[in-house]
Structure 1
């Protein structure tokens, strides 16, 4: 089942203004995630805000009927994007969305913010 990577393209790291650029750190990370996810079967989408501004750059990995995860405090690098995509592939391959800690790519360890349980099937 396909997993989605939702990327906050509005995220700005603390030193964003000092960089003197107009593109946000979140948009730069989104570009890199989309490139890394191309051809993997994963879906990526951008949103303007995930309300995690104190720990930008933020992403969410989720799939239908699976546990989802919010992650943050990334730098907008190719290495971070590759680790996020690698983790999302494992999430996609997992029936429940859970991936054993020992299998997590090093680049996502320490970036988990919260876990989101799937919605119940019935009211």
Structure 2
């Protein structure tokens, strides 16, 4: 059995659906993990607002950044990717993530000017990931 499955080949936000809700709780009061809650909010926004139409929202279990829940990976072909975490699983975080992903998609190589970063993503960057076949200069 393979652990990999096909995914969107364009710009995407991949949410860890198994992330904790908070440092103190795995799930919220309704029994939903923080990552699953954030993934649902991302998907709802992406499906309902045309500005996010080009961004695929996908999820997978565990991005291995457990201390930095709720975690997402923003990526696009041929561009630097980013792993961000330490989000509250709420609509404000989902909107900030998707707003950053729109700027990331529009960028030439995945570098978004700091002036264009939504406030909601500042302080949440964990890792910069080079695309296959490249490293950053």
> TM-score by structure 2 length?
0.82
Alignment partner of 1:94 is 2:134: no
Q: 1:18 to 1:118 in 2, by over 3 A?
A: closer
2:88 paired residue number? 75
Give the gaps of 5 or more residues in structure 2: 1-8
- Name segments (4+ residues, structure 1) moved above 2 Å: 17-21
How many aligned positions are there? 121
Which of 28, 47, 50 is the equivalent residue of 2:37? 28
Higher relative contact order (CA 8 A, sep 6+): 1
1:106 paired residue number? 119
Q: 1:42 to 1:54 in 2, by over 3 A?
A: same
For residues 119 and 106 of structure 1, what CA distance do their matches in structure 2 show?
Answer: 29
Q: CA RMSD in A?
A: 1.7
For residues 26 and 8 of structure 1, what CA distance do their matches in structure 2 show?
Answer: 5
